[in-house]
Amino acid sequence: MPTSRVRHTATAAAPPGRVWAALQEAGTWAGIGPIDEVWDATHDDGGMLAGFRWSADAAGRRWEGTATTAEARSGERITLALRSSEVRGTLTAALEGDGTGATRVDVSLDVEPAGLLAGMFWGVVSGAIRRGLPGHVEEFAARFSAAEPG
């Protein structure tokens, strides 16, 4: 199966703790990679994001999937395993304070087709992901900058 890996780094004008706290809210992930909407979030006993359901609108259809936390290092990195009928992969956000109160947010998305339709049109799908992720990550980081401390 062909796999696409896309990565982009942006800076959030917020400290790493605030960015980490926002990453524990499922709604924060809307608009990154294939994720348009999120719902049904779950958290572990410590309040860390355990998973959520998501949807994407593509090719005139709404596609639904799940995201589960595959790895989390508190305050540093979180990896979500994404699954749907058409795509599967991982979405990772790694955080690094820059010493000035801002945070570098490094987002990587590794995806591959899981269904026949995505497999047939993977060139188009992966091209859209590759072109879209940098803008998604810039908007993602800007949301952290605008977020109220919590």
Q: Over 90: is that where the pLDDT of 114 sits?
A: no
Q: What is the pTM of this model?
A: 0.88
**d(C-alpha 16, C-alpha 23), whole Å:** 10
The per-residue pLDDT for range 8-61, each reduced to its tens digit, is 999 999 999 999 999 999 999 999 988 999 999 999 999 999 999 999 887 677
How is the chain split into domains, by residue range? Answer: 4-146
Architecture of domain 4-146: 2-Layer Sandwich (3.30)
The per-residue pLDDT for range 70-86, each reduced to its tens digit, is 999 999 999 999 998 88
* Predicted pLDDT of residue 15: 95
| Closest of 19, 64, 14, 17 to residue 39, by C-alpha | 64
Q: How confident is the model at residue 87 (pLDDT cuts 50, 70, 90)?
A: confident
C-alpha distance from residue 145 to each of 24, 78, 89, 122, 138 (Å): 16, 19, 27, 34, 11
